[in-house]
Amino acid sequence: MAPGLIDHLCAKIEMRQRVLLICFMAAGFLSGNAQQGDSVKLLKEVNVTGYKTLNGIGHFLETKDGIIYAGKKTEIIIVDSLNANKAINNTRQILGRIPGLNIVETESSGFTANGIATRGLNPIQSIEMNTRQNGYNISADVYGYNESYYIPPMEAVKRIELVRGAAALQFGAQFGGLVNYVTEEAPKGKPLEFTTAQTKGSFDLFNSFNSVGGTYKKISYYGFLQYRNMDGYRPNSQQWQLSGFGSIRYNASDKVNIGAEYSLLRNRIQMPGGLTDSLFNSNPKESTRARNWLKSPWNIVNAYINLHPSGNTTINVNTTYIFSNRSLVWRNEDGGPAAPDTIEATTHQFANREVGSEDMHGITSEARISANYQLGKTRSTLAAGMRLAHAWFKRQGGGEGTTGSDFDLSITGDWGYDLDFTTTNIAPFVENIFRVGSRLSITPGARFEYLRGTSKGYKTVDNIVQTANEARTRTYPLFGLGLEFRSTANTNIYANISQAYRPIDYSQLEPFGVTSIIDPHLKDAHGFNSDLGYRGTIGNYLNFDLGLFYMAYNNRIGEVVKTDPVTGKDFAYRTNIAESTHKGIESYIEFNLLKCLEPHSVSGLSIFNSFAYIDARYGAGEFKGHRVEAASKIIERMGVTYSRSGFSGTFQVNYTGDAYGDATNARVSDNPIGGYIPAYTVLDLSATYKWSNYAVKGGVNNLADRSYFTRRTDEYPGPGIIPAVGRSWYLGLSARF
């Protein structure tokens, strides 16, 4: 009887994730054989915290790993529970259940990390998000150059964590919030475990993923290598990449562990160029460029120490160093996508290409402390910390490259511009959960940001060399408040409001070419996010999160198509357009019919719907009432998953509403960024069969072979329309030993 009762109690802890267990426990008492005079011991209180998921998606509870999530809109995706094409990081299948997630699909058109955004923000290279891996930053410079060229391969990711705009207080001031990719960990109790997965697919896709990990005494380790090669959906879009990761951890005791991690990315990508509307409508697979190349080697080193001096206190310190590069050689955007890249009649050669290179270095240290303490009759939780960061960024471009077609970064003469930037950031923060009774929590928080940026170097404009030597210092406080009311053991109502901030970054100060002009009087953007929602689970068959949001984005930086009065040509003008407001509905509902009819059924038939209505508009200025560029009104993804005896299959429908390329909301424009982005619907089918230590995975993406696009751009990988991938298939085999 005793083991069964203990197992039952442990199961309750695992299901509820936060249990206060006070037991009167003696060996004879639990076995039903307690005798008079037997001793009875009062055990210490056990406080288990974490996250709760159902069918692979869920949310954080109040705290985890010293971080406060009470009152915030959070989502967690368990990647292994999904049927998805993880070999090419198919974002709409992996992250598509997040309501309102806007995805730029450039996986086969110039970038291997699909950009994401929420609530009508700019999804290009995830610049509005705080992108992290295992809790530390993996973009080049959170404020100066917040573009993500690297994310870990999904085959190595255990779960993905998202926190909406309220994440600004503890992680940084991005409007879009936090996305954190948590990699697999070393298996416990095994000195060695080996995993391999081999995948073939359309367009000569070959992906090989291999990992090793284990635990020996107090040392645990994990690492992986991924190699991927593919020709791409369009001509001139071949790519290969090598991703790697290694971690080692020393568990000195239950109270102390230290570790280090290293991540790398090596790639070479051919960019097939962008299209005009007429070219896309004629043949979306057409390529206008054959000589454009990009590489973005990424290196990230992280070291950390976790301390648990008592059951109520945790301390974490981690330091990350990023040293990376992005280089490209291309036939630049002069003339837009309609300009042919052909051999010139006078020289019998191609035109010289343009070469650009960016070196990125950054070191960031974050220290956090979390403590539970008694305040009256209730327990409160304090979380505080400090971020110290310094990044230096060297940008060189406008160099005259070769007339060839291969990947050659050599230049003739000097760079057209050679600039050095630095960013220094100091940011203390604090949040505290005040619990009122057993159901209500109130969480105020504050963050103070010190930011100093410098720029030095030169840029040649119309054969005139202009020098730069300036520094800019800003300080700004951020405040927030979260509320959470536990309506039942498994449901709660949450609300929060948090300020956010986005300073001018390097890319907004320096255009890449002649089709873009930058307003010299740009201002930093600021505003706030707010949420109100109801979420929870019922049994093991219903999971839901229904919410409203409102975001104010002041001094929003965007692009407007203007006409040059002299030449009559359109050009993109990057400026503070006006304040924008983003409001709407976000809902996620998943219902397992078979589990509802029979809770202990070995089969499952799960139906999910992820829906968002987003009204993102400019509230003042020249474009008052216009829709924010790239902001779709409706984003809906729905699907059904059937599972039984090792088999699982998912059919998913993805609908994204229409949008515009710039703030003028022009449907047609001569400028590459201007124009209409039509709505589209994409169907995906994927399945997995597991037996013993093996698994077979396969599927068809874009089942109906829909022609669509998600992005217009005035620079690489365009300029012009970047078509998304048509119908494709994949088939893979994995094994674990």
Q: What is the DSSP string of 218-274?
A: TEEEEEEEEEEEE--SSTT--EEEEEEEEEEEEE-SSSEEEEEEEEEEEEEEE----
pLDDT, tens digit, for every residue of 333-358?
A: 777 888 888 888 888 899 999 999 99
How sure is the predictor about 561, in pLDDT bands with cuts at 50, 70 and 90?
A: confident
Q: Please give the helix or strand (H or E) that residue 649 lies within, else none.
A: strand 647-656
Dihedral pair phi/psi, residue 412, rounded to 5°: -110, 125
* Rounded percentage of the chain residues whose pLDDT exceeds 90: 67
The full set of domain ranges for the chain reads 2-46, 49-736
How sure is the predictor about 671, in pLDDT bands with cuts at 50, 70 and 90?
A: confident
What value does the mean pLDDT take over residues 548-573? 83
* Residue 4 reports pLDDT greater than 70: no
CA dihedral 156, 89, 167, 577 (to 10 degrees): 160
pLDDT, tens digit, for every residue of 127-180?
A: 899 999 999 999 888 888 888 889 999 999 999 999 998 999 999 888 999 999
Q: Please give the helix or strand (H or E) that residue 34 lies within, else none.
A: none
pLDDT of residue 415: 94
pLDDT of residue 466: 78
DSSP 45: P
* Residue 17 reports pLDDT greater than 90: no
pLDDT of residue 346: 87
pLDDT, tens digit, for every residue of 319-338?
A: 999 999 999 999 877 778 88
pTM of the predicted structure, to 2 decimals: 0.90
* Residue 23 reports pLDDT greater than 80: no
How sure is the predictor about 507, in pLDDT bands with cuts at 50, 70 and 90?
A: low
Tell me the range of 87-96, 458-467, 607-616, 662-671 where mean pLDDT is highest.
Answer: 607-616
Please give the single-letter amino acid code of residue 105: E
Residue 475 burial by CB count (10 A; 0-12/13-18/19+): exposed, middle or buried?
exposed
How sure is the predictor about 508, in pLDDT bands with cuts at 50, 70 and 90?
A: low
Residues in the chain: 737
Non-local (6+) Cβ contacts of 11 within 8 A are none
Determine which of 8-12, 634-638, 658-662 has the lowest per-residue pLDDT on average. 8-12
pLDDT of residue 27: 33
692: helix, coil or strand? coil
pLDDT of residue 621: 83
Determine which of 168-177, 200-209, 355-364, 487-496 has the lowest per-residue pLDDT on average. 168-177
Complete DSSP assignment for 50-116: -EEEETTEEEE-SEETTEE-TTS-EEEEEGGGS-S-GGGT-HHHHTTTSTTEEEE--TTTT-SS-EE
pLDDT of residue 558: 76
* Residue 46 reports pLDDT greater than 70: no
pLDDT of residue 50: 67
pLDDT of residue 140: 84
pLDDT of residue 143: 85
pLDDT, tens digit, for every residue of 591-614?
A: 999 999 998 888 999 999 999 999
pLDDT of residue 141: 85
* Residue 525 reports pLDDT greater than 50: yes
* Number of Cβ within a 10 Å radius of residue 250: 14
pLDDT, tens digit, for every residue of 280-290?
A: 999 999 998 99
Tell me the range of 195-204, 413-422, 468-477 where mean pLDDT is highest.
Answer: 195-204
pLDDT, tens digit, for every residue of 62-91?
A: 998 889 999 999 999 999 989 999 988 888
How sure is the predictor about 110, in pLDDT bands with cuts at 50, 70 and 90?
A: low
49-736 homologous superfamily: TonB-dependent receptor, beta-barrel domain (2.40.170.20)
Q: How far apart are the first and last CA of the chain?
A: 35
Determine which of 421-425, 572-576, 596-600 has the lowest per-residue pLDDT on average. 572-576
More confident: 696 or 96: 696
- The rounded distance, in Å, linking the Cα atoms of 723 and 235 is 12
Q: Please give the helix or strand (H or E) that residue 348 lies within, else none.
A: none
How sure is the predictor about 394, in pLDDT bands with cuts at 50, 70 and 90?
A: very high
pLDDT of residue 676: 96
- The rounded distance, in Å, linking the Cα atoms of 266 and 82 is 27
- Is the four-CA dihedral 241, 206, 681, 161 of positive or negative sign? negative
pLDDT of residue 504: 82
Contact 614, 117 (CB under 8 A): no
How sure is the predictor about 240, in pLDDT bands with cuts at 50, 70 and 90?
A: very high
pLDDT of residue 14: 37
pLDDT of residue 511: 43
Average pLDDT of the chain is 88
Q: Are strands 525-538 and 193-201 parallel, antiparallel or unpaired?
A: unpaired
Residue 605 burial by CB count (10 A; 0-12/13-18/19+): exposed, middle or buried?
middle
* Residue 444 reports pLDDT greater than 90: yes
Contact 721, 276 (CB under 8 A): yes
